[in-house]
A and B are shown apart, each in its own frame.
Chain A
Amino acid sequence: MGRFSRPPLLPTIILALLILAAVFAPLIAPHDPEQQSLLMRLTPPAWVQGGTWRYPLGTDGLGRDVASNIIYGLRVSLLAGIVSVAISVLLGGIAGLIAGAAADGWFDTVLMRLVDIQLSIPVVLIALAVLALTGRGLGKVILVIGLVGWAQYARLVRASVLAERRKDYVLAARLLGASRRRVIFRHLLPNVLGPLFVQISVDIPRAVELEASLSFLGLGVAVTTPSLGLRIAQGYQYLFSGAWWPSVLPGLALVLLVLCENLIGDWVRDVLDPHYRRRRKSRIPAAPAPTDPAPTERTLP
C-alpha cells in the first residue's frame, strides 16, 4: 500500500450519488416535496400492493411524495452538516489559535472557562432559546449546531498549537524575530490542519444527526421544510398502523448518509492523523497524541 490508502470505494460512490441527488434535487425529484394530495395520503411504495409508480416510495400522511422528500431532505441534511461545522471551525478555530498562541494569557483563561460553560448548557436549551428569539428555520438550526460545536474546535486547536509551539522550528522562527501573526499563520496553522480535518470528518455526520434530532423534537426547521428528522417524526404515528414508509424510508436514507460519511471519516483519520496511522501499521511505540479528540457526543442521546 502506498503512502495514502485509497478511500473506501462503496461509501465514496454512494456518498457521491447522495450529494449529486441533493444538488440536483429539483431535476431528480418526481414531485414538489411540499405538494400534498389528501386524497392520495399514505399510498404505499410502488412495489407494495396498492402502490403506484407515480409515487415510487409512497406518500406520507399529507399525501406528499416520500421519494421527493428524501431527496430534498438529503439537501437539508448535507447543508446543515457542512455549514454548521464550518461555523464551528471558524469560531472555535480562531479562538483556539489566539488562545494557544497566547497561552496562559487572560484570553486563554477566559476561553477555557467559556468552553467549560458551553459544554454544561444543554443543546436543547440553546435550540429553544434561538428558536424563540428568531423563529424556526433551517438557517437558525444551522446556527445553533454551529454554536454548540465551537468549543470542541477551540479546545483542539489550542492544544495543537500548544504542542507545536514548544517545537524547535517555532522557537527558531520566534527567535529570528517573526511577528506573532506570522508565526501563527505561517508556522502553526499548517500543522494544526491535520487534527482539524480529522475532527471535521467526525463532526459532519454528527451535525447531520443533530439537525435530524432537533427537527425530530420539533425544535428544528419549519414544518414544511423537508428535513429527514422532521419527516421521521411526522411519519412515526402512522408506523404502528402499518404505514412504515413515511418514517422508515427517510430514516434509512439518514442512516445511509451518516454511515458513508463515517466510513469516509475513518479513512480521513487514517490518512491525516500520523499518530493513528503509525499505530495501526506497525508496533513501533507511538508518540502521545497531541490531543485525543474529546469523546463528547454532539447528537442527542
Chain B
Amino acid sequence: MPSRTIQWLGACGIAGCLAWTAQPAQAAIGDNAQQPLVVAFKGGATTLDPIMRSETTTESWQRNIFDTITFQSAQGKAVPRIAVAWKNLSPLSWQLTLRAGVTFQNGTPMTADDVGQSIMDAANNPKSQMREFVNDVTGFTVVNPTTLDVTFKQPDPLFPLHLSSIPVMPEALIKQEGRTAFAAHPIGTGPYRFVSWLAEDHLNMAAWKGYWGKPVAFKFVRLESIPNGATRLAALLSGQIEIAEKINPEDFKRVKSSGRAYITSVSGTRTMYLAMDDWRATGSSGMAAGAKNPFLDPRVRKAVYEAIDVGLLRDKIFDGAATVASQFMPPLMEAYDPALKRFAYSLADAKKLLAEAGYPHGFTVRLDATNDRYLEDSLVAQALGGMLQEVGITVNVNAIPKAVFFPQMNRGDFTLYLAGWGSVDPLSTWNAMFHCRDPKLGFGHVNREHYCNKPADALIAKASGTFDDAARIKLEQQAYALADRQDIAYIPLYYQDEVAGVANGVVWQERPDGLILAWQMQSKPMAGK
C-alpha cells in the first residue's frame, strides 16, 4: 500500500490530486459498495464480539449485525425482536416465545438453544460486560423450537427490558472456531452482514438477503470514526458522509443554514451529576488537611444545589442541547416522575443556608472531573467552579483523563466530583448508586459517598419483587423522591442530549439510548433534484 501511493505521488502532481479529491455528488446513497451510506461516529467500536463491551458506540456498530432478543423502544419499553412474546410463569421463571424462521448470516437456522445459550454466555463468560442484565438467570429449558423457559435465582420483573441488551449469537459456531476468530468475522441474525473493518476506525456492511425482518433502505453502509466534531461537521456539509453524530452545539446553526442537512436531537439517558462525600467527617481528600467535611451538613448540599444555574450551562455550554435534570432518573426510565421538580436556582437562599451551616464565608474544596469522558466535561467543571465562587465556595477544578480519574473515584478518593451515570433501569441504578453499602450482598458498590437511607432501600427491595408495573413504578418513585428531594444524595445537573446531523436524503431520529442503527433509517427522495 505505501509503495503504491508513493508511485501515485510520482504519477499525479499535487494539483492533480487536489482535483481528484473533489468527488461527484452521489445519485443513490447506499446502492452500491462504492457509494455506501456513511455514518460518522466520534469513536469507533473496539470489538465486534457482542458481549465484550457495554458501550454505546460499540453497541451501535454491532447491533446492525446482531439482533438482540428484545428491543428497547424509543419510549423505553421492551418490544418484540427475536422474542415475540413473554410472560412470567412464576416469580422465578419467564417464558419467551421466539420468532420462527430466523437464520444466521452463514445460512444456519437459529434455534431456541442458540437463544438460551446466548443468555448463558452473556451471564457466565468472564469477559462479558452484559452480565449485570442477566445475573440472576440460573438456566433455561427448550420447551419446543419456538418456546424457551428461563429460570432465576431471584425475581427479575424487568427481564424483558434486560433482554434488549442480550445479542443472539451462533453458539455452535463459536464453540467450534473460538471467540477470537468469531469476533474477527462476526455472524449474527441481524439486517446487515459483516464485510470488512478496522477496529475503532471503520466497519463496512452489506444488507443481508436472508434477514427475517423488513428489508433495509440502504444496501451498503459504512460506519466510521471521525473523532473531531468540527471535522465530522465539515464532512457532513461537504456531502462526504450522511450522518454525523454528536454535533457540537455551536455548530447547529451552520447545519441548519447549509440546506444540505438537518439536526435531530433527543434527551438522552445519561444523567450528569455532582457527588459529595457523605461519610468522612475529616480527611476528605478534596479538603485542606484537617479541615472538616462540610458536605455532611444537608444545608451545605442544598446550598451547592441552589447555587448552580443549570439553565446557564445548558444555554452557554451546550447551546440548548442538554435537558435540565429535574431528578436523577432520566425521562426514559419508568421511575421518572413528571411531578418532581428541581430546587430552584437561588444565590440568596444558598448563601443563607451556608451561613446557617456555619460557613458564612464559604470554604475551599477541590472539584474533580474527567477531561476526556463526557461531552464538554472539563468546561462544565470549570463553569461549576465559577458558579460556586458566587456563594463564596472557592473551587479548585482538577480535570484529568479518565484513566486517572476512575481508579481514584472507585477508591472513594474524592470529596466533590462531576460524573455521569447511564441508567439501565431504576432498580439496578438504585442498588448500585443509592443502596446502603453492603459489599457482601453486592449493594451500593458504586455508592462511594456512603449515602444510606434504609426505608428507601426497603421500598426498592419490595419493587424488585413486584411484577405489576404500576405498583412497582410507584414504589420506585417514592424511593427516588426520598433520595432526590429529602436527602440530596446527589445533585442531578442535566441529561445529555443525543444529537446528530443528518443529510437531507436520509430520515433518522436520534434515540434516547444514543444508539445509531442503520437498519432503522429511511431514505427520502431529495426535493428539487
Quick check: do A and B touch in the complex, using CB within 8 A? yes
Interface residues of A (CB under 8 A from B): 36, 38-39, 41-42, 61-62, 128, 131-132, 135-136, 218-219, 222-224, 234, 236-241, 243
Q: Distance (Å) between the CB of A90 and the closest chain B CB?
A: 28
- For the complex, would chain B's binding face be called helix, strand, loop or mixed by DSSP majority? helix
Chain B residues whose C-beta falls within 8 Å of the C-beta of A236 in the assembled complex: 230
Sample of 5 more A-B contacts, CB < 8 Å, known A131-B404, A237-B228, A241-B254: A38-B386, A218-B401, A240-B230, A240-B233, A241-B248
Q: Is the CB of A224 within 8 A of B382?
A: yes
Q: Is the CB of A39 within 8 A of B316?
A: yes
Q: Is the CB of A41 within 8 A of B248?
A: no
B399 at the interface (CB under 8 A from A): yes
- Decide: A36 near B371, CB < 8 A? Known: A218-B401, A223-B399, A240-B251: no
Q: How many A-B residue pairs have CB under 8 A?
A: 68
Q: Is the CB of B230 within 8 A of A241?
A: yes
Chain A residues whose C-beta falls within 8 Å of the C-beta of B382 in the assembled complex: 36, 62, 223-224
Q: Is the CB of A41 within 8 A of B316?
A: yes
Q: Is the CB of B383 within 8 A of A36?
A: yes
User: What is the CA–CA distance of A132 and B401 in the complex, to the nearest angstrom?
Assistant: 9
Chain A residues whose C-beta falls within 8 Å of the C-beta of B399 in the assembled complex: 222-223
User: What is the CA–CA distance of A218 and B227 in the complex, to the nearest angstrom?
Assistant: 15
Q: Is the CB of B316 within 8 A of A38?
A: yes
Interface residues of B (CB under 8 A from A): 228-231, 233-234, 248, 250-251, 254, 312-313, 316-317, 371-372, 378-379, 381-383, 385-386, 396-401, 403-404
Chain B residues whose C-beta falls within 8 Å of the C-beta of A241 in the assembled complex: 230, 248, 250-251, 254
Chain B residues whose C-beta falls within 8 Å of the C-beta of A128 in the assembled complex: 401, 403
Closest to B372 in A: A218
Chain A residues whose C-beta falls within 8 Å of the C-beta of B233 in the assembled complex: 240
User: Quick one: which of B229, B250, B316, B401 contacts A219, CB cutoff 8 A?
Assistant: B401
User: What is the CA–CA distance of A135 and B313 in the complex, to the nearest angstrom?
Assistant: 27
Write 15 A-B pairs (CB below 8 A) sorted by A numbering. Answer: A36-B382, A36-B383, A39-B316, A61-B317, A62-B379, A62-B383, A131-B401, A135-B400, A223-B382, A224-B382, A237-B248, A237-B250, A238-B250, A240-B230, A240-B251
Q: Is the CB of B248 within 8 A of A223?
A: no
User: What is the CA–CA distance of A216 and B311 in the complex, to the nearest angstrom?
Assistant: 30
Chain B residues whose C-beta falls within 8 Å of the C-beta of A234 in the assembled complex: 379
Q: Distance (Å) between the CB of A168 and the closest chain B CB?
A: 53
Q: Distance (Å) between the CB of B261 and the closest chain A CB?
A: 15
Closest to A133 in B: B404
Q: Is the CB of A223 within 8 A of B250?
A: no
Q: Distance (Å) between the CB of B384 and the closest chain A CB?
A: 11
Pick the most buried of A36, A61, A136, A241: most chain B CB atoms within 10 A of its CB: A241
User: What is the CA–CA distance of A118 and B360 in the complex, to the nearest angstrom?
Assistant: 53
Chain A residues whose C-beta falls within 8 Å of the C-beta of B317 in the assembled complex: 38, 61
Pick the most buried of A61, A135, A234, A239: most chain B CB atoms within 10 A of its CB: A61
User: What is the CA–CA distance of A239 and B228 in the complex, to the nearest angstrom?
Assistant: 12
Q: Is the CB of B230 within 8 A of A136?
A: no
Closest to B249 in A: A241
User: What is the CA–CA distance of A62 and B379 in the complex, to the nearest angstrom?
Assistant: 7
